[in-house]
């Protein structure tokens, strides 16, 4: 990409899209295009194609998606598969119809089988059954990968896919019913501290292990891949190491300054026992994550205090 290339960020207000926007601006890319969901409904194919025609876009970061944690995936399965299929189909096809130079599709490591070998390699895709709690979302993301591959094969496009591990950072979703585990824990510990509670309940046993990637590192990786990678194989993005839910909860407890105890509700689901990605392919391309979990948690909590708390108090 040239510094004046016309770059569209789909989903620029979310955790991933906002991080990509900040990273592009930091690197000097200023000809950026983005629309809010109220201005452009990506589920509407006519509106999406018209938008691409009018904006003469060259590069696309497809970060728009309907996302959520176990609760949201379990309660709204139809919306997760429908909305994600519509969004990615419309943006990918409009990119082809309007001859964009290159597209990066963002998926998720939930595409892998529930009991995939650890760490999970790109080759493990479609080798086993999915985790039932997020199967509709995972199937939509797998379809996006295959759509990019298929367009490349049939039309000679340059569409690449990246699968980030569990993310956190600025502009995360802290809604307890719809958020992922890390932002949910940040909010739980903060509210327990403010309310003078003696304990914080953690869903499940605390034993599942997860890998956590800071959103700023993901954004840097996405820009790096857009500039340095072409190929039909998708690429895992992660840090290459994981931590148990219990241990990450203890880290958040320290960052927030909560003095009470942790309790584990074993009647709630654990989800996949372990999710660690093999980052060999990405490492071979010359990229590695730089932000430690401790550093990233401090940044995420600072953003939560400065933005989420203020917004909800004033709102």
C-alpha span between 10 and 311 (Å, rounded)? 24
What is the per-residue pLDDT for 39? 95
Quick check: is 17 in a domain?
yes
CATH number reported for the structural domain that contains residue 27 in this entry: 3.40.50.720
Quick check: is 34 in a domain?
yes
210's enclosing H/E stretch is strand 209-210
What is the per-residue pLDDT for 314? 47
137 catalytic? Reply is yes
3-state secondary structure of 42: coil
Binding residues for NADP(+): 11-17, 106-109, 141, 164-167, 180
* Spatial contact of 237 and 163, defined as CB atoms under 8 Å apart: yes
Binding residues: 11-17, 106-109, 141, 164-167, 180, 188, 203, 210, 270
| Residue 142 structural domain | 7-314
Q: 3-state SS of the chain: helix, strand, coil percent to 5?
A: 45, 15, 40
Catalytically annotated residue among 59, 112, 137, 151:
137
Among the listed residues 304, 86, 44, the one whose alpha carbon sits nearest the alpha carbon of residue 185: 304
Q: What is the mean pLDDT of each run of 10 residues along the chain (315 residues)?
A: 97 95 97 95 97 96 86 84 97 98 96 93 97 92 98 98 95 82 94 96 93 98 98 96 97 97 92 88 97 97 88 52
Q: Which residue has the tokens 């999406």?
A: 48
What is the per-residue pLDDT for 155? 98
Cα-flanking dihedrals φ and ψ of residue 99, to 5°? Answer: 55, 45
C-alpha span between 250 and 229 (Å, rounded)? 38
Report the domain count for the chain: 1
Quick check: is 303 in a domain?
yes
Quick check: is 2 in a domain?
no
What is the per-residue pLDDT for 212? 97
What is the per-residue pLDDT for 315? 45
Q: Token pair for residue 95?
A: 């990119």
Quick check: is 52 in a domain?
yes
Quick check: is 1 in a domain?
no
Quick check: is 129 in a domain?
yes
Binding residues for substrate: 188, 203, 210, 270
Burial group, residue 244, by CB count within 10 angstroms (0-12, 13-18, 19+): middle
Cα-flanking dihedrals φ and ψ of residue 3, to 5°? Answer: -65, -25
Quick check: is 283 in a domain?
yes
C-alpha span between 250 and 256 (Å, rounded)? 10
3-state secondary structure of 174: coil
Residue 235 CB partners (closer than 8 Å, separation 6+): 122, 160, 161, 162, 163, 225, 229, 281, 282, 285
What is the per-residue pLDDT for 310? 61
């Amino acid at each position: 990409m040239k510094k004046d290339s016309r770059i569209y960020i789909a989903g620029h207000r979310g955790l991933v899209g906002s991080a990509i926007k900040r990273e592009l601006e930091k690197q000097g890319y200023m000809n950026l295009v983005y629309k809010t969901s109220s201005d452009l409904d990506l589920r509407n194919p006519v509106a999406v194609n018209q938008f691409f025609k009018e904006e003469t876009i060259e590069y696309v970061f497809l970060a728009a998606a309907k996302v959520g944690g176990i609760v949201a995936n379990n309660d709204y399965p139809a919306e997760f598969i429908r909305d994600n299929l519509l969004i990615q189909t419309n943006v990918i096809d409009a990119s082809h119809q309007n001859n964009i130079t290159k597209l990066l599709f963002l998926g998720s490591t939930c595409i892998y089988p529930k009991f995939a070998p650890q760490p999970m390699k790109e080759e493990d895709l479609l080798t086993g059954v999915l985790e039932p709690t997020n199967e509709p979302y995972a199937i939509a993301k797998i379809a996006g990968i295959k759509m990019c591959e298929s367009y490349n094969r049939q039309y000679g496009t340059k569409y690449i896919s990246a699968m980030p591990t569990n993310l956190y950072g600025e502009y995360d979703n802290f809604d307890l019913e719809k958020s992922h585990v890390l932002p949910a824990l940040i909010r739980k510990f903060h509210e327990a501290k403010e309310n003078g509670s003696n304990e914080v309940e953690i869903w499940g046993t605390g034993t599942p292990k997860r890998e956590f990637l800071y959103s700023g590192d993901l954004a840097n990786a996405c820009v790096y891949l857009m500039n340095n990678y072409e190929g039909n194989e998708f690429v895992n993005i992660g840090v290459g190491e994981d931590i148990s839910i219990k241990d990450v909860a203890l880290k958040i407890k320290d960052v927030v300054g909560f003095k009470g105890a942790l309790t584990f509700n074993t009647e709630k689901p654990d989800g996949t026992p372990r999710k660690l990605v093999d980052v060999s392919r990405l490492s071979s391309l010359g990229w590695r994550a730089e932000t430690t979990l401790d550093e990233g948690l401090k940044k995420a909590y600072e953003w939560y205090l400065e933005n989420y708390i203020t917004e909800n108090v004033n709102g």
